[in-house]
Structure 1
């Protein structure tokens, strides 16, 4: 599950990209991808028009039918991997999990899977934030998509490795 603030820009874009990449990897039948938001402020709204335009321009589905929803505690325990877009989203998920390591161990910031993202030990987590394009120009959505795409192959490899490990048990 990908997680952002309102579930209308970053997390649905990541959901579409990951679903596409997992399908290309032959994993669509065994992996479910969805998205949520920390806030309920956009509840029921579709993917932002600018996000849809950028997805379309890059050959992705546009997330038609998506309706924003807020993450629930039940989502945390039923997902194998939780991918927050920012350090603030990760903290909110950890708080919601109540410190349960069975959940908190599955929270990984999306950009930690980007081999080009620079994060030195001792740096704050937020250097790996996927910037919120909502308040920026249309080009901000291009940057957001590029950050998501840069992490996608690493996420697919992580998921593939996890499925292989389960199969060996």
Structure 2
């Protein structure tokens, strides 16, 4: 599960990119990817039109079935991997974790180029208040970490890259 603030920009963009990458890796039937937000402010809303536009421009199928929703403690406890878009989101997820011991990671920590960054520097840029360039930057950060997420999950599943 990918998690951002309102679940209309970063986390659904990451969800769409990851689904595409898992499908390309032959893991589309083995891995479920979803998204949510730490806030309920956008509850029920679709993916932001600017996010849909940049995804489509980069060849991703955006579909129309997404409805923003707020993450719950049950979500956190039931997921094998929860990917926070920012350190603030990660803190909110740990607060929800209660007695469970979920695997919560910063999404961008899977970007090989970001390995030297401190956790507080791993935030995926929030494009909400920006223009098309900000959505491009956000998508580039998401794409840069996506293969690392796929490799991590493949390893957790015990599946070789040739499978």
| Contact kept? 1:2, 1:82, Cα under 8 Å | yes
5 Å-filtered alignment, 1:23-42, equals 23-42=23-42
Between 62-71 and 30-39, report the one with greater CA deviation.
Answer: 62-71
Structure 2 portions without partners, runs of 5+: none
Partner Cα distance (2:63, 2:69) in 1: 14
CA-to-aligned-CA distance 1:18-56 (integer Å, 9 cap, x gap): 000000000011100000000000000000000000000
Counterpart position of 2:145: 151
Measure how far apart 1:119 and its partner are.
3.2
Q: How many pairs does the alignment contain? A: 159
**TM-score between both structures, scaled by the size of structure 2:** 0.94
Between 111-120 and 36-45, report the one with greater CA deviation.
Answer: 111-120
Counterpart position of 1:22: 22
Q: RMSD of aligned C-alpha atoms?
A: 1.2
Partner Cα distance (1:153, 1:118) in 2: 14
Partner Cα distance (2:112, 2:126) in 1: 21
CA-to-aligned-CA distance 1:55-92 (integer Å, 9 cap, x gap): 00000011421000000111011100000000000000
Partner Cα distance (1:138, 1:157) in 2: 30
Question: Which secondary structure does the structure 2 equivalent of 1:134 belong to?
Answer: coil
**TM-score between both structures, scaled by the size of structure 1:** 0.91
Partner Cα distance (1:76, 1:134) in 2: 25
Kindly report structure 1 stretches of 4+ aligned residues shifted beyond 3 Å: none
Counterpart position of 1:48: 48
Partner Cα distance (1:65, 1:83) in 2: 21
Partner Cα distance (1:9, 1:149) in 2: 14
Partner Cα distance (2:142, 2:63) in 1: 15
Partner Cα distance (1:18, 1:114) in 2: 13
Counterpart position of 1:102: 101
Structure 1 portions without partners, runs of 5+: none
Counterpart position of 2:86: 86
Partner Cα distance (1:14, 1:63) in 2: 14
